[in-house]
Every structure is written in structure tokens, then in C-alpha cells.
Amino acid sequence: MEIDKSRDDDLLLQEKGPDLRRYLKTLFTHRWMIVATTAVITAIAIAIIANIPSRYQAVASLVFELDQANLVSVEEIYDLGNQRREYILTQTQMLQSRQLAERVIQRLSLSENPEFSPGQVGTTMGMIFSFSGSGADDPGATDSGEIDAITTTFLKRLTIEPVRNTNIVRVKFEAQSPVLAAQIANTLVEEFIAEQSEAKVQFTSRATSWLTERLETLRSKLEASENQLQNFREREDLIDLSGVRSLAERDLNEMTAQLQEMRRELKQISSIHDQFTTAEGDEMALANLPEVISNPLIQEIKRNVAVAERRRADLSRRYGAKHPLMIAATNEVRLVREQLANEMRNLSDAVENQYLTALSRVRDQENEVERAKENYQEVSQKDFRYQELVREVDVNRKLYDTFFTRVNETRETSGFDIAPAKLVDAAVIPNKPVKPNKKMLAAMSLALALAISVGIALVLDLLRTGVRGPEDVEDYLGQRLIGLIPDVSKISGTTLGLRTIFDPEQHVFGEAIRTLRTGVVLSSLGQSQRVIMVTSSVPAEGKTTTSENLAFSLAQVGKVLLIDADLRKPAVGIDFKIPREHPGLTDAITEAHPIEDCIVHDKVSGLDIMPSGNYCSDPQKVLVSFRFSETIAQLLRTYDRIIIDTPPVQAVSDALLISRSSDSLLYVVKCDSTNKRIVKKGINRFTQINASIDGVVLTHVDTRKGAVYEDEYYGYDFDKGVRQSSYSSNSGDDKPSGSPEQRKEPEIS
């Protein structure tokens, strides 16, 4: 529970954001440390900067010949990319190649130059400020390793800068010697041009050799392809393949068209044949077929059948079946019907014959078409093979002609060299260094030193976890600040004595105690707060000093008793030089001595003191007894106020027991010392038992001018020339002048 509350308080402080005013005060407090640290760091940096050697930069310009007049097309072989946009960038990278750098190093013997020696390259401060080489001084390094280190340093000092929208490139080099810088820049350009020219000559030579070799190979291939074409013609007896192929194609098309026509006729006769096959045996169905109806002979026979049947019908009405006329008529009908059946059979046979004939023709035509296709495919294959051989001959001839031309061109132009670039402006010896900018470095060192010093001051301030001022009391502890006790040793350089409040030279301390008294009195207006207990979180926070001086101050306006309730480590009796065996609080509670015998009167201040008394093995047993409350109640009949000095609440629980018999509770916190979390936990122990804390007293406060929180304690140094006129130093005891009645001030309450 306590941890969660403390965490919530921390979050509350974070939400309020940083206090810039406090940070400024912190910096002002540590101003001399900041000034000293900044001065030392800056001085060291300036000393280092002063020893950094100056650098001179020489600049040489060269232009690339992108629009060279090529005499012959062979330039395309070794000059590919001349017209490309990336050509300048490619050449720029070539200017920064390690191979070119090593050529310059060897030509100028830079490995023997002290500026490029491995020891100089590996200088530590040069690495820090990036103004010297980055090589390492390795005694066991091989020559190749040293060359590699020198080359790396060389390239770091080299800058290649293309000029926008032009073919010009600037070569810049930095060196400690201005003469060496100009010499290296010019040598680099010369070596680059020479290297490119050499590469061009070598490439031309290799190209000529390769072209000649390829030309012989192409000649052999051309001859082989021509022989193969001629052999194919002779073997296939070909003269004009295009005419043969056209004739075969025309025959195939004609046969295919005839086949389509025959298939159409077959389809028609097949339909009639199917009808006759279906109606076979059914005279009525056959008679109704379109082919039968459209046959004139059959129609004529059908009319004869109708006439014969009509005649027989007429005769049957007059004659009997055996009449000669009836017999003749019946025979006539039979003959006519037989004639019709014969004609129908003849027609069906004719249809059958037509169907078979059409089917046979289609099959024969299909065979002819297949033979025509085979013939066409054979002709096509020959033509394809022929065209393939012709194309191969054409390709080989073109390649041969091309390489033959290139070989002759290369031979003719082998002695004509055009430099890919030329020097426009040679590097001149510079007269002003470009690096380092020592003024800027000094300014940067000063700024960096100041930032480091400020950071150290802020870190030191953040490491202080104690309660620093009223804001911490109110915001973090959630309590009211009722008084401030200044640190006498920091203000006057003297130690704090028992009766410092009466010292006219310590007016600041006295005014702080009187202000605390005023806060205590005003906080009790309208309430009965006569028993005031004073406690703290841990020992050595000034609770006993606060209790004694508050009692001194209240004794000037009333009758006050100071009780030493710290039964484990009593300090009040020691401060007042009361013998340890003198009866005190424990004796009064246990009734070992009368209360009157347990009280000591201080004649100097008029204050009564009740020491802790005889040693008690179990202080809590004494403090929790009802006799403790009765003793306090009995004392209240005699005294206006009772001040109780209690043990630290985080050490023991005695203060929690005493708080039940107290009307007011003052919590003492040593300024900028005790951890705020510990103080918060101590306060939470009282709030958990519903004990109300009337205020926090901040002790050991630095109220000097220039302190971190000096303006928050403004007024404690007010009117330093004024001294308390009611006190004098007439004796070594610092006794107050006049009688106690003269020293008493009107009671505020």
C-alpha cells in the first residue's frame, strides 16, 4: 500500500513537468564547478587542436572527351558507354581506385614520406578529429600491409568532384605540405590519363587478335554451310521449290473443295436412304415419301390403280364376284398394284445404289486428299530445310563480312590514340590551409565542455534524493511546511549550541525558530493543541534540536515542559547536562518518583525539562500503558504546552504510541539529506493510524545568498544590522537580560 502511494506521488510529480527555475538555480549553485570544468576541458581541447597539423588542398581539373570524332566504327568496341549518362560517374569512381592510388604512391615514393608513414597514419588524436590518417602502427605488419594503410590514408584525403552539367571533374587532394598536395593532384591526373591510354592500346591489341581468330572460324563455318546447302539441292533435285510448293498447295485446295461437295451430296442421299430404309414394308409410308410423290411414273401408276379400283367398284354394284367383267376388273386392279409395287422397289433400289455410289466417291476423294497432304508436307519440309540452310548461309556470310570489316578497321586505326581525358587546369600550390578550422573547433570544444559541465551539474543534482524545499514538502509529501531551520554552520561558520537562539549574532536562526513558534501557535487557533510531539524518519535529522529550540521559544510566552520520550537514545538530558541517573519520564510513569522530582528547571530560559529517566528494557511497554496518558494529563494541569521529543518513526514504533496522547505532531526532515521515499513511508505510518501531521519542519536549510533555494527562504537575512535588543552577552552562559517577566512576550493564542 505504501509503495503504491509513493509511486502515485512520483507520477504526480512527473505530470507537473520539469521545474526549469530549479534547474537554473542548480546551475547557478554549481556555477564555479561548471566554470572550472569548462575551462579545464576547453584548455585541453585547445592544446590538442593547436597541435593538429594544418592541411592544404590543391585542385586539378580534367575534362573527358565525350564527343571524340571517331574515325571508324571500331571505336564502339572499346568505347562503349561514352555517350551514356553514367560515364562521368564511372570515370569518377575510377579516379578513386586503389590501383591508381598505388601507382601515384609508387611514383612519388610516398611510403618514404613522414606524412604518410604508418606511425603518422595511426596518430590517435588524428583519428578522433578525422584530420590525420587512420592507419595503425603495427610493428609486425608486412610491406603489403603498410602499403594498404598508406593507400587507405591517400584515398581518404582524395576528393573527386564532378562539375554539374559539364564534362569537367575536379581532383582535390589534402596534405600538410602545399607543394606535395599540388604534386599529388597533378600526378594523379597524369597517371589516370596514362592508365586509360594504356588500357585502350591493350584492348585494341587484344581486340585485333580476337577478331582475327574469330574471322578464321567464321570463314570455316560459312564454307561448311554453303557446301551443305549445295548438297541438299543436288540430293533433292531442287531447282525452284517455290513453284512446286504452290502447285501442291493448289491441288490440295481443289481436292479439299471437291471432297466437301461430295460429302454434302452424300449427306443428302444418306437422308433419303434413311427414309426409305425406315419405311420399308409400309406401302403407305413409302407412298408419302417426297421422292415417291415427285416420281411421275409412280404417280401415273397410282392414278391407274385408282381408275381400276373405281371401275371394279362400279361393276360390283351390278355384277357378282364371279362375273367375267368382275373377274377382269379384279385382275386389272391386281396387275396395276403389282406394277406400282415393282416401281416402288425399283425406286428404293435406285436410292440404295445412289447412296452406295456417293459413299464410295467420298472415300476415294478422302484418300486423294490424304495423298495430296502428304505430298504438300513433303514439299514443305524440303522447303523449310532449304530455307534453314539458306538463312544459315546468310547469317554466316553477314558475320564474316562484319568481322572482316572490323579486322581491317582495327588494323588501320591501331596507331591512332585519342586520350579519353585531358588536363584543363593543373593544380597550383595553395597558400592557405583548409583544415582544420581551429577557431570553429575551439568554439565547438567550448560548447561541448559547457554542455558536459552542465550535464555533470544536473546529474549531481538529480542524484540528490532528499527533500529540498517547500515544493517537495507540498508536492511529494503532501504536507504543509510549518517551519524552516537554517544551517548555522553554513551561515556563520560556527556550530549550533544549545542556546544559540539567545545569541544575538545568530539572529537568522532565532528568527527561524520564532517563525516556527508562530506557525505552531497559529495552527492551534480554535483548537486544543497543547501537547506537541516532534519526530522524524531517521536519526540525525534535527528533531531534538527542533524540540529544544521550539520549547525555548514557547517558554518565552508561556509555561512549557520539554519531555525527552526517546527512551532508547535520550539526548535532551545530555544537551542540558542532566545526570543520567536523574529521575525522568520512566520514573514518573512507573511512579518510582513523584512527578515534581522528575522535572528539571532551566533558569536561563525558564524552561522545564523532563529527561528520559532510568533505563527501561521495554520502552513500548511503558509508553503503551495508561499511566503515560495519565502522566501527560496531570502535567497539562501545570503547563501551558508540552513538547515531546520522540524517537525516529522509521527506527522504532514508539512515536506511533506517543501520537495517541498528543494534540499536535511536527515532522522534522533534514533538508536535502533523507530520501524522500523514506520520509513518505514514515508519514504514511502516521496516516494509517489516523494521526494527523500538523506540519513539516525542514532543518539544515542553506539560506545563504546564492543557494539553490535562496529565494524561497528570502527574509531570513533581513536587516542583518538589527540585533535583539532584549538580550546581551553579559556572561558566558548567554543569559537573557532582565527578569522572566520582562522577557515574556504576549501570548498569541
Q: Which three cell numbers stand for residue 669?
A: 526532515
pLDDT exceeds cutoff 90 at 487:
no
Determine which of 175-179, 246-250, 416-420, 609-613 has the lowest per-residue pLDDT on average: 416-420
pLDDT exceeds cutoff 70 at 215:
yes
pLDDT, mean over the chain: 78
Q: Which three cell numbers stand for residue 327?
A: 373377274
Quote the CA–CA distance of 60 and 169 in Å, as a whole number.
8
pLDDT exceeds cutoff 90 at 559:
yes
Average pLDDT over residues 39-59: 88
Whole-number Cα distances in Å, 444 to 15, 43, 48, 455, 517: 35, 12, 13, 16, 55
Task: Indicate the pLDDT class of residue 338, thresholds 50, 70 and 90.
Answer: confident
Closest C-alpha among 563, 604, 603 to residue 586: 563
The alpha carbon torsion through 373, 377, 380, 386 (nearest 10 deg) reads -150
Average pLDDT over residues 535-561: 92
Residues 86-119 pLDDT 10s: 778 888 888 888 888 888 988 888 888 888 865 5
Quote the CA–CA distance of 588 and 590 in Å, as a whole number.
6
In the prediction, which pLDDT does 551 show? 93
Contact 193, 169 (CB under 8 A): no
Sequence-separated (6 or more) residues with CB below 8 Å from residue 236:
382, 386
Sequence-separated (6 or more) residues with CB below 8 Å from residue 153:
116, 121, 133, 134, 135
In the prediction, which pLDDT does 667 show? 95
Task: Indicate the pLDDT class of residue 549, thresholds 50, 70 and 90.
Answer: very high
The neighbouring-strand residues paired with 532 are 643, 664
Q: Which three cell numbers stand for residue 325?
A: 367383267
pLDDT exceeds cutoff 70 at 490:
no
Three-class secondary structure assignment of 430-481 = CCCCCECCHHHHHHHHHHHHHHHHHHHHHHHHHCCCECCCHHHHHHCCCCCE
Determine which of 155-159, 298-302, 414-418, 481-485 has the lowest per-residue pLDDT on average: 414-418
In the prediction, which pLDDT does 608 show? 95
Average pLDDT over residues 678-691: 91
pLDDT exceeds cutoff 50 at 693:
yes
Q: Which helix (H) or strand (E) element contains residue 251?
A: helix 241-278
In the prediction, which pLDDT does 538 show? 92
Determine which of 4-13, 25-34, 401-410, 655-664 has the lowest per-residue pLDDT on average: 4-13
Residues 426-446 pLDDT 10s: 888 888 888 878 788 889 989
Residues 157-166 pLDDT 10s: 899 988 888 8
Closest C-alpha among 626, 611, 513 to residue 567: 611
Contact 142, 89 (CB under 8 A): no
In the prediction, which pLDDT does 732 show? 33
Average pLDDT over residues 570-589: 91
In the prediction, which pLDDT does 527 show? 62
In the prediction, which pLDDT does 285 show? 67
Determine whether 618 is exposed, middle or buried from the number of CB atoms within 10 Å of its CB (0-12, 13-18, 19+).
Answer: exposed
Determine which of 74-78, 255-259, 375-379, 573-577 has the lowest per-residue pLDDT on average: 74-78
pLDDT exceeds cutoff 60 at 130:
no
Average pLDDT over residues 47-63: 86
The neighbouring-strand residues paired with 162 are 169
Q: Looking up cell 508536492, which residue turns up?
A: 475
Q: Is 59 helix (H, G, I), strand (E, B) or coil?
A: strand
Kindly state the DSSP code that residue 615 receives in the 8-state scheme. -
Contact 437, 29 (CB under 8 A): no
Kindly state the DSSP code that residue 714 receives in the 8-state scheme. T
Quote the CA–CA distance of 298 and 100 in Å, as a whole number.
115
Of 561 and 332, which is predicted with more confidence? Answer: 561
Quote the CA–CA distance of 151 and 133 in Å, as a whole number.
10
Average pLDDT over residues 516-535: 82
Quote the CA–CA distance of 207 and 194 in Å, as a whole number.
20
pLDDT exceeds cutoff 80 at 244:
no
In the prediction, which pLDDT does 193 show? 87
Closest C-alpha among 421, 417, 416, 433 to residue 188: 421
Task: Indicate the pLDDT class of residue 129, thresholds 50, 70 and 90.
Answer: very low
In the prediction, which pLDDT does 128 show? 41
Average pLDDT over residues 505-532: 82
Contact 628, 622 (CB under 8 A): yes
In the prediction, which pLDDT does 597 show? 92
The share of the chain scoring above pLDDT 90, in percent, equals 19
In the prediction, which pLDDT does 498 show? 86
Residues 294-335 pLDDT 10s: 778 777 877 887 888 888 888 888 888 888 888 888 888 888
In the prediction, which pLDDT does 281 show? 64
3-state percent breakdown (helix, strand, coil) of the chain, nearest 5:
60, 10, 30
Residues 645-657 pLDDT 10s: 999 998 888 899 9
In the prediction, which pLDDT does 534 show? 95
Whole-number Cα distances in Å, 270 to 83, 357, 377, 648: 78, 11, 33, 128
The share of the chain scoring above pLDDT 70, in percent, equals 80
Q: Which three cell numbers stand for residue 515?
A: 517563525
In the prediction, which pLDDT does 137 show? 44
CA 336 to chain centre: 114
Residues 620-678 pLDDT 10s: 888 888 899 999 999 999 999 999 999 999 888 889 999 999 989 999 999 888 888 99
